[in-house]
Amino acid sequence: MGDHMFESFNREKKKETLYVSLYKHIKKMIVEEKYKEGQKLPSKRKLAEHLKISPLTVEAAYQQLIAEGYVYAIEKKGYYIDQKVELVKSLSNKKRDVNNIEKPVDQEYKYAFKTNVVDTSLFPNTVWAKLSREVLSENHHEMLNITHPQGVLMLRVEIAKYLELYRGMKVDESQIVIGSGSSSLISLLIELLGRDNHYAIENPCYTKNYHLYQGNNVELSLISLDESGIRIDDLEKSKAQIVHITPSHQFPMGIVMPIQRRIELLNWSNRLTGRYIIEDDYDSEFRYQGKPIPALQGFYENEQVIYMNTFTKTLAPSFRMNYMVIPHKLLPRYHHMMSYHGCTVPNFEQFIMHKFMQGGYFERHINRMRNQYRIKLEQIIKITENYASVTIKGYDTGLHFLMEIDTLSSEESLVLKALKNHIYVTGLNSYDHSKVKEHHKPTLVLGYSGLKNDEIEDALLALIQALEID
């Protein structure tokens, strides 16, 4: 092997550890086929003399190449290019192909009517910083210990108190499980309830949840809606034993399930053993007219309902902390099957959240957010009243609404028009996962919580202009 093969090494060796530089140099030569399969490498002594480095450095480089399969050693004979080099080259080429794939670029929008954001300007930074310091000072020992699989006990106690006071639920801390996002809790529930069960979900629905069930390889039925929410007759016709619903503010339709439909749903769950309702109460805190309807779980302390909620909608999208309430009768099964699952939320965040709720900050924060969102909503209603072809639906609660438009244009074309004007919107059809889409007027699903009060009017007028609405 000629000395010219190492000419570039001297220019590289100062950039990093010598043996690493030498290892990379030889590896590059192998991958580029400048060294052939079975070709002998210089001896450690000879190469060390040529490069004016230690033989130990050369040995370290050779050993790394051996470990990765580029080189093999024959005792008393030397070092050779490994026969696996063809595979190495193949993998290298594959990597370059992957890198050549066009990657999506996050687009900047002038206005974004997204449904997965909140007004982060309302986040209580000062209070949160104060409580963080208190946790570091007062709870540093507990914070460093292993967390209970269901989450920090003190936080679960506060959540139980909150649910009783604001959602009419009589639960205890032993029923509460804390997790990092709905995806982790849904996957855990599927494991708990069984993949051999048949599941159902509303249609249209939150797309992420739909894909979560599909990704867990369970039988899944899509159940249609009427003006009161999920259709019980269609649910009865399905093989479903477990149904996932959003009764407080159906996503995306914005339907608040009335009492009578809730009773019908509970009756469905009680008719056969093994039926359960997963109640996703994701933005129930934001109701602007009248008192919130009690949670399904609170009806007769129902043992067929698994309750879920999140702090993401009340604090910030990056605050990945959700929780669920498991019926007492499922707890033995949960402890038997799930005891090896660790809590996925860091102790530090849980201790801060405990103090945030215990000190009354959480309640005050929600009241403040509710007032601010009400102001935004009032602006939206006032502006859209001037356009006869626009009908606003599903806005009595929650953080999104539907804009139904009386137009000859298709829903897809309206979305494209908005995007071309740098305005982010989604169409109702994008949440419909059935093979045959239900016929309806072109409808946009618009989240308003991420827009600031002083840009609501400009954002809406810009959207209306982009859609060419009279």
Report the chain's terminal Cα–Cα distance, integer Å: 79
Distances (CA, A) of 466 to 147, 243, 419: 51, 39, 9
Amino acid at 64: Q
Residue 105 lies in a domain: no
Same domain, 345 and 431: no
Res. 14: pLDDT tops 80:
no
* CB burial string 424-443: b at 16+ within 10 A, e below: bbbbbbebbbeeeeeeeebb
**CATH number of the domain within which 462 lies:** 3.90.1150.10
Q: Among residues 315, 346, 361, which one ends one of the domains?
A: 361
Closest-CA residue to 311 (of 352, 254, 258): 352
**Same domain, residue pair 332 and 309:** yes
- For residue 122, what is the DSSP state? G
Q: How many structural domains are present in the chain?
A: 3
Beta strands at 198-202 and 242-245: parallel, antiparallel or unpaired: parallel
**Is 404 inside any structural domain?**
yes
Same domain? For 348 and 392 the reply is no
443 in the same domain as 357: no
Residue among 55, 350, 62, 53 at smallest CA distance from 178 = 350
Please determine, for residue 73, whether its predicted confidence score (pLDDT) is greater than 70.
Answer: yes
Counting residues of the chain whose pLDDT is more than 90, the rounded percentage is: 56
Q: Is residue 32 part of a domain?
A: yes
CATH code, 323: 3.40.640.10
Residue 170, domain member (yes or no)? yes
* Continuous segment of H or E residues that includes residue 127: helix 125-138
* 221 and 78 inside one domain: no
Q: Are residues 45 and 155 in the same domain?
A: no
Give the domain range for residue 72. 3-100
Question: Is 412 among the domain residues?
Answer: yes
Per-residue exposure over 20-34, b if at least 16 CB sit within 10 Å of its own CB, e if not:
bbbbbbbbebbbeee
The answer to whether position 106 is within a domain reads no
pLDDT the model gives residue 101 = 46
Residues 172 and 48 both lie in one domain: no
Kindly state the tokens that stand for 19.
């043996």
% pLDDT > 70, the chain: 91
Q: How confident is the model at residue 397 (pLDDT cuts 50, 70, 90)?
A: confident
pLDDT at 10: 57
Peptide bond into 247 cis (omega under 30): no
pLDDT in tens, 432-453: 998 777 778 999 999 999 898 8
Closest CA to 462 of 406, 432, 400, 419: 419
Q: What is the distance between the alpha carbons of residues 411 and 417, in angstroms, rounded to a whole number?
A: 10
Cα–Cα distance, 213 to 240 (Å, whole number): 13
Torsion of CA 134, 135, 138, 140, to 10 degrees: -140
User: From CA 124, how far away is CA 369, in angstroms rounded?
Assistant: 11
- Residue 334 covered by a domain: yes
Mean pLDDT across the chain, nearest whole number?
Answer: 87
Per-residue pLDDT at 86 = 55
Choose the final residue of a domain: 328, 361, 394. Answer: 361
Cβ pair 324, 129 in contact under 8 A: no
What is the mean pLDDT of the segment spanning 194-198?
Answer: 94
pLDDT(105) > 60 = no
Classify strands 198-202 and 219-223 as parallel, antiparallel or unpaired: parallel
The count of other CB atoms within 10 Å of the CB of residue 141 is: 7
Residue 73 and residue 96 in one domain: yes
CA distance 134 to 213: 40
Let me know the angle formed at the C-alpha of 403 by 397 and 407, rounded to the nearest 5 degrees.
160
Helix (H) or strand (E) holding 74: strand 71-74
What is the pLDDT averaged over residues 227-243?
A: 96
Q: Could you give the CA distance from residue 155 to residue 177 in angstroms, rounded to a whole number?
A: 10
Judge if 368 and 343 occupy the same domain. Answer: no
pTM of the predicted structure, to 2 decimals? 0.76
Same domain for 147 and 236, yes or no, is: yes
Q: Are residues 440 and 345 in the same domain?
A: no
**Which of residues 43, 68, 100 is at a domain's end?**
100
Comparing 96-105, 361-370, 425-434, which segment has the lowest mean pLDDT? Answer: 96-105
The answer as to whether 408 is a domain residue is yes
**154 & 93 share domain:** no
Spatial strand order of the sheet with 426-427 comes to: 390-393, 400-405, 443-447, 426-427
- Region at 355 (left for phi over 0; alpha for psi -120 to 50; beta for the rest): alpha
pLDDT in tens, 304-340: 999 999 998 888 888 889 999 999 999 999 998 887 7
pLDDT band, residue 107 (cuts 50/70/90): low
Q: Strand 305-310 and strand 276-280: pairing?
A: parallel
Q: If we measure between CA atoms, which residue out of 287, 354, 316, 313 comes closest to residue 123?
A: 316
For residue 1, pLDDT beyond 90: no
- Whichever domain contains 53, its CATH number is 1.10.10.10
- The residue with tokens 């639920």 is 169
Neighbouring residues of 241: CB distance < 8 A, sequence distance ≥ 6: 197, 198, 199, 272, 274, 275, 276
